[in-house]
Amino acid sequence: MNLLLLEDGDFVAPDRVRLQGRRLQHLREVHRAECGDSLRVGRLGGLMGRGVLFSLNAEQAELQISLDTPPPAKLPLTLLLAVPRPKMLKRVLQTVSAMGVARLVLLNSYRVEKSFWQTPFLEPAAIREQLILGLEQARDTVLPEVTLEKRFKPFVEDRLPALADGSLGLTGHPGEYPACPRAVEGPVTLAIGPEGGWIPYEVELLRLAGLQPVQLGERILRVETAVPALLARLF
Amino acid sequence: MNLLLLEDGDFVAPDRVRLQGRRLQHLREVHRAECGDSLRVGRLGGLMGRGVLFSLNAEQAELQISLDTPPPAKLPLTLLLAVPRPKMLKRVLQTVSAMGVARLVLLNSYRVEKSFWQTPFLEPAAIREQLILGLEQARDTVLPEVTLEKRFKPFVEDRLPALADGSLGLTGHPGEYPACPRAVEGPVTLAIGPEGGWIPYEVELLRLAGLQPVQLGERILRVETAVPALLARLF
């Protein structure tokens, strides 16, 4: 936790917060914080700054806060991600949030196991929890927008063309395609497939929606590795 | 497992292998392989090709193999990595191997907890196991060279200058440094710090050994995210 992220419910006055639960525990056990300590804080969806701890015990912590710094810019990226297996989903959500992706669409694909859609980790509260961990890690305050699209074809045919309009549209896919571009300017819409990759029909439908296939070399990477690799190359 | 990796002990004839244990189980349970199936195979340290399954039961699998394709090129990279916590170490070893790092030095640092050096995951056999999983994922046959350096100062002062000689030397570190370069030509020596980062003394010692600090933006990334991000940007 490189940033103590504050939510509206934490504020007991415009410049004072009271914390319990996970963040209190983290302050006590990991940071080993003491009264008088000054910590990096940020308000969810708002500014970042410092908080001075003026009261701390086993039940709660209280901080006097001052917020003056905008959070880092988001990547101008809409990421379409085939739903990964639950264990990987949690880590990928943290990565997506930490790296500053603006919008995430969790998408179905032929090779997404149906059971992946049943996981409690896709509940809005569970997704939010992982995104928050990513923001705390990277020092950001703005959650990515996340939507779930359980049906590939209607999403890609009917809504994706408008969503990708005006952006550089790319589908990450191993094969005889151009290399993924580097250091692009402007917004990007990027689709990353499941373990095992998109099927040809999906690559073609994505292409018709404006997303051209690109590759990242002959090595097959796990989704959790491909995501940071593609993002670091693009931006 | 995108490549069935074969070791010397698997060969019962120059073009025949017999498999048991983990790979047999994977063939049966994940690939649901059947006699006559043709699979991608590679010989550890050697060529890649195809293997045709001609016998399969609960005890063993036998394949007729033909090897003709060289493995993908390694990245001309020596990666110095402050030892991460055990759970992250396993994933990072897989990533390092999958992305084709040629040499990995697991290094001590002020912010590496002493207990991390005690983990059984640093045993040679445990390291090798994770590296193998990375090769199977990425379709490569050549293990990275891995060394452990428990003492930061003597390694960086006495051996690193020769090791980094003739390469582009970089230390990944957040701060007011030049941005990490993109698409470099030639060999690179890159140092990535622990959670919490290098301490200034370490950054300075690495600089004196020829590694210049570079940053990847203001977001603080976890080691397992920073590794693929830096590698994808550099190569």
pLDDT tens digits, B150-171: 999 999 999 999 999 999 999 9
DSSP for residue A204: H
Q: Report pLDDT digits (tens) over A34-62.
A: 999 999 999 999 999 999 999 999 999 99
Instruction: Tell me the chain A residues in contact with residue B214 when contact means C-beta distances shorter than 8 Å.
Output: none
- The predicted pLDDT at position A10 comes to 97
CATH code (residue B131): 3.40.1280.10
Kindly determine whether residue B72 and residue A138, on different chains, have CB atoms separated by under 8 Å.
Answer: no
DSSP for residue A215: B
Gap from A220 CA to chain B (nearest CA, Å): 4
What chain A residue is nearest to B136 in terms of C-alpha separation?
A220
Q: Compute CA B134 distance to the chain's CA centroid, rounded to the nearest angstrom.
A: 7
Q: Give me the amino acid identity at B201.
A: Y
Question: CA nearest B103: which of B159, B47, B58, B65?
Answer: B159
Give Cβ neighbours of residue A99 (< 8 Å, ≥ 6 apart). A75, A134, A138, A227, A228, A231, B219, B221, B225, B229
Preferred mutation among A190, A233, A234, A235 to probe B, highest tally of B CBs within 10 A: A233
Together in a domain, A90 and A205: yes
The answer to whether B88 contacts chain A (CB < 8 Å) is: no
Together in a domain, A139 and A209: yes
Percent above pLDDT 90 for chain A: 97
Kindly determine whether residue A221 and residue B228, on different chains, have CB atoms separated by under 8 Å.
Answer: yes
- The predicted pLDDT at position B182 comes to 97
Instruction: Tell me the chain A residues in contact with residue B231 when contact means C-beta distances shorter than 8 Å.
Output: 229
Together in a domain, B222 and B147: yes
Kindly determine whether residue B98 and residue A219, on different chains, have CB atoms separated by under 8 Å.
Answer: yes
- The predicted pLDDT at position B233 comes to 96
ipTM score for this prediction = 0.95
Kindly determine whether residue A139 and residue B218, on different chains, have CB atoms separated by under 8 Å.
Answer: yes
Which of B24, B51, B69 is the C-terminal boundary of a domain? B69
Together in a domain, A58 and A97: no
- The predicted pLDDT at position B125 comes to 97
Q: Report pLDDT digits (tens) over B47-86.
A: 999 999 999 999 999 999 999 999 999 999 999 999 999 9
Beta strands A188-192 and A168-172 are parallel
CA torsion through residues A202, B134, B93, B184, sign: negative
Together in a domain, A100 and A182: yes
Q: Report pLDDT digits (tens) over A185-221.
A: 999 999 999 988 999 999 999 999 999 999 999 999 9
Together in a domain, B129 and B221: yes
H-helix or E-strand containing B124?
A: helix B124-138
* CB-CB contact of B193 with B81 (8 Å): no
Together in a domain, A50 and A79: no
The answer to whether A95 contacts chain B (CB < 8 Å) is: yes
Q: A82 falls in which pLDDT band (50, 70, 90)? A: very high
- The predicted pLDDT at position B202 comes to 98
CA angle A27/A31/A37 to nearest 5° reads 80
Mean pLDDT, chain A, rounded, equals 96
Gap from B218 CA to chain A (nearest CA, Å): 7
Q: B20 falls in which pLDDT band (50, 70, 90)? A: very high
Kindly determine whether residue A219 and residue B95, on different chains, have CB atoms separated by under 8 Å.
Answer: no
Gap from A180 CA to chain B (nearest CA, Å): 11
- The predicted pLDDT at position A199 comes to 96
Q: A93 falls in which pLDDT band (50, 70, 90)? A: very high
Q: B134 falls in which pLDDT band (50, 70, 90)? A: very high
Select from B182, B220, B230 the Cβ nearest to the Cβ of A138: B220
Instruction: Report the domain count for chain A.
Output: 2
Domain range for B41 is 4-69
Together in a domain, B206 and B146: yes
Mean pLDDT, chain B, rounded, equals 96
- The predicted pLDDT at position A89 comes to 97
Report the alpha-carbon distance of residue B97 to residue A222 in Å, rounded. 12
Q: B143 falls in which pLDDT band (50, 70, 90)? A: very high
Together in a domain, B51 and B106: no
Can you read off the two tokens belonging to residue A208? Answer: 């018709």
What chain A residue is nearest to B235 in terms of C-alpha separation?
A233
Instruction: Tell me the chain B residues in contact with residue A219 when contact means C-beta distances shorter than 8 Å.
Output: 72, 98-100, 138-140
Which of A69, A102, A119 is the C-terminal boundary of a domain? A69
- The predicted pLDDT at position B167 comes to 98
Together in a domain, A102 and A181: yes
Q: A179 falls in which pLDDT band (50, 70, 90)? A: very high
Which of B26, B53, B69 is the C-terminal boundary of a domain? B69
Together in a domain, B144 and B193: yes
CA torsion through residues B228, B194, A135, B134, sign: positive
The shares of helix, strand and coil residues in chain B, as percent rounded to the nearest 5, are 35, 30, 35
Burial class (CB in 10 A: 0-12, 13-18, 19+), A112: buried
Question: For B135-147, what is the mean pLDDT?
Answer: 98
CATH code (residue A9): 2.40.240.20
Together in a domain, A95 and A204: yes
Kindly determine whether residue A225 and residue B222, on different chains, have CB atoms separated by under 8 Å.
Answer: no
- The predicted pLDDT at position B73 comes to 96
